[in-house]
């Protein structure tokens, strides 16, 4: 893809991160895991990410096939689709902004309701983070 070998880059990145011996609680995978949407591409990503031995919460990007991604990533104990993740001082809202076969993102009424309900139930000292693949507002980028 554009002269880049994404599988090798992912492997190199994970090797580097593991060599740093970082304290990692969890990983967020925010989409565009596959360019060809093949089961093998998701299996490869799952194999590489499971090397962290940490739970990875994921959402699809516009270059992902949600059903294939769900089928393949759910085979790994470490990889879990997410909607809302509550931690003692933080809540993470994961939004699937992929809309059909278009590259631009989509924010729907259900997403808005989920955000409003989660924010309304959050404590004053709790941080609420929204995790999504696409930009939340139009940015006029050429891609």
The phi, psi pair for 40, rounded to 5°, reads -65, -35
Predicted pLDDT of residue 83? 85
Q: What is the DSSP letter of 103?
A: S
Q: Distance of CA 106 to CAs 90, 94, 122, Å? A: 25, 13, 25
Q: Are 60 and 31 in contact (CB under 8 A)?
A: yes
Residue 140 Ramachandran class (φ > 0 left, ψ -120 to 50 alpha, else beta): left
- Choose between 90 and 82: higher pLDDT: 90
Task: Give residue for tokens 């880049």.
Answer: 4
Residues 50-72 pLDDT 10s = 999 998 998 888 888 889 999 99
Q: What is the mean pLDDT of residues 93-112?
A: 80
pLDDT band at 115 (very low <50, low <70, confident <90, very high): very high
- Taking the CA atoms of residue 25, residue 49, residue 33 and residue 39 in that order, the dihedral angle to the nearest 10 degrees is -140
**What is the residue whose two structure tokens read 């001082």?**
89
In the prediction, which pLDDT does 102 show?
Answer: 64
Residue 71 has what pLDDT? 92
To the question of pTM greater than 0.95 for the whole model, the response is no
Tokens 């990889």 sit on residue: 79
pLDDT band at 2 (very low <50, low <70, confident <90, very high): low
C-alpha 15/C-alpha 51 separation (Å) is 9
Task: Give the count of alpha carbons within 13 A of 65, CB side only.
Answer: 12
The pLDDT of residue 14: 93
């Amino acid at each position: 893809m554009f002269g880049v070998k994404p599988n090798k880059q992912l492997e190199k990145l994970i090797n580097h991160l593991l060599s740093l011996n970082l304290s990692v609680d969890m990983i967020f995978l925010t989409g565009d895991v596959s360019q060809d949407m093949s089961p093998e591409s998701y299996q490869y990503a799952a194999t590489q990410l499971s090397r962290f031995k940490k739970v990875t919460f994921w959402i699809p990007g516009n270059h992902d096939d949600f059903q294939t991604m769900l089928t393949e990533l759910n085979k790994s104990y470490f990889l879990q689709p997410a909607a809302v993740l509550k931690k003692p001082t933080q809540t993470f809202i994961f939004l699937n902004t992929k809309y059909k076969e278009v590259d631009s993102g989509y924010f729907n009424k259900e997403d808005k309701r989920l955000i409003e309900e989660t924010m309304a139930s959050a404590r004053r000292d709790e941080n609420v983070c929204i995790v999504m693949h696409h930009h939340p507002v139009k940015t006029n980028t050429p891609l």
